Amino acid sequence: MIPGPFSYHRPATVADAVKLLSTLGDEARPLAGGHSLVPMMKLRLATPEHLVDLHNVAGLKGIRRDGNKVVIGAMTTQHELLASDEIAKSIPILHETALLIADPQVRYRGTVGGNVANGDPGNDMPALMMTLWATYHLDGPNGAREVAATDYYQGAYFTAIEPGELLTSISIPVPAAGHGYAYEKLKRKVGDYATAAAAVVLTMSGGKVTTCAIGLTNLSEIPLLADAAAKAVIGTSLDAATLKKAAAAAQAIMAPAADARGPVEYRKHVGGIMVTRALQRAAAKAS
């Protein structure tokens, strides 16, 4: 399989990349890790006339601490994320999740920015970014702006990004010390997209949940934040009745597609189980 012809551009700065994307218009696509786009191009499901390769843009790389936030450059690979001590220390759920994405080869090339920006409902990072209250930094022909992860996703492959805009970095407020976390992902095999997955970040005090956020992956055409489910566990010790209530509240907003990963009823059923397990494991980790 060979992709259709295209012109190749390799800018060195964010400004040049944005300029290329905005002048070349709809026929141009940014190329990050390429592990979603290149297979789509080989299948001719995507036929961009121009590719703007971002690998040479130094300004899109790196992970840094900025006060109480961690800023991740859009071109940071999953492999680099996994190698980061800063991430291990301050936002370990990112490590847990990155290890469940695809396989080692894909993680060497696949980027965090590509994973969150593309709007693929199967990607794992979007729901997690919502759970962590992340902010996406976009740069475009009309300047830079910020969009909350919770406002970014509008439909499958349809996001708040405007033509000519580029995701440059993601900033994540560091969760409170002693927070509990878990990403539970049911998949058919290593490397697969989730049949259902749930992210939980919570804090506990005196055996009771004080704050909680729950994200859901691949259980709708966009990543979901299960607000009602999170609210249901606040102030509780996650007893059996509460877990059941939270799972039901999460299931109420799930709208998965029926596909090779299973019928709708099954995916909602296991979605509830992922929420329950993630809550239990996160609580056990909290201190």
Partner 1 sequence: MAKTHITMKVNGAEVEGLVEPRTLLVHFIRENLQMTGTHIGCETTHCGACTVDIDGMSVKSCTMFAVQANGSDITTIEGMANADGSLSALQEGFRMMHGLQCGFCTPGMIMRAQRLLKENPSPSEDEIRMGISGNICRCTGYQNIVKAIQYAAAKINGVEFREAAE
Binding site for partner 1 (CB under 8 A): 1-8, 34-35, 38-39, 41-43, 51, 53, 55, 79, 102-106, 108-109, 190-191
Nearer to partner 1, 55 or 285 (CB): 55
In three-state secondary structure terms, 121 is coil
Write down the least CB distance from residue 163 to partner 1, Å: 22
Nearer to partner 1, 74 or 216 (CB): 74
DSSP per residue, 216-261: EESSSSS-EE-HHHHHHHTTS---HHHHHHHHHHHHHH--PPPBTT
Residue 53's beta-bridge partner residues? Answer: 31
Write down the least CB distance from residue 40 to partner 1, Å: 10
In three-state secondary structure terms, 160 is coil
Nearer to partner 1, 2 or 260 (CB): 2
Q: 110 CB contacts (<8 Å, ≥6 apart)?
A: 33, 35, 77, 78, 101, 102
Nearer to partner 1, 107 or 268 (CB): 107
Question: Cα dihedral angle (208, 127, 80, 175), rounded to 10 degrees?
Answer: -30
In three-state secondary structure terms, 148 is strand
DSSP H/E element including 40? helix 37-42
d(CA 152, CA 210) in angstroms, rounded, equals 27
DSSP per residue, 89-111: HH-HHHHHHHTTSS-HHHHHH-B
Nearer to partner 1, 34 or 262 (CB): 34
Nearer to partner 1, 103 or 265 (CB): 103
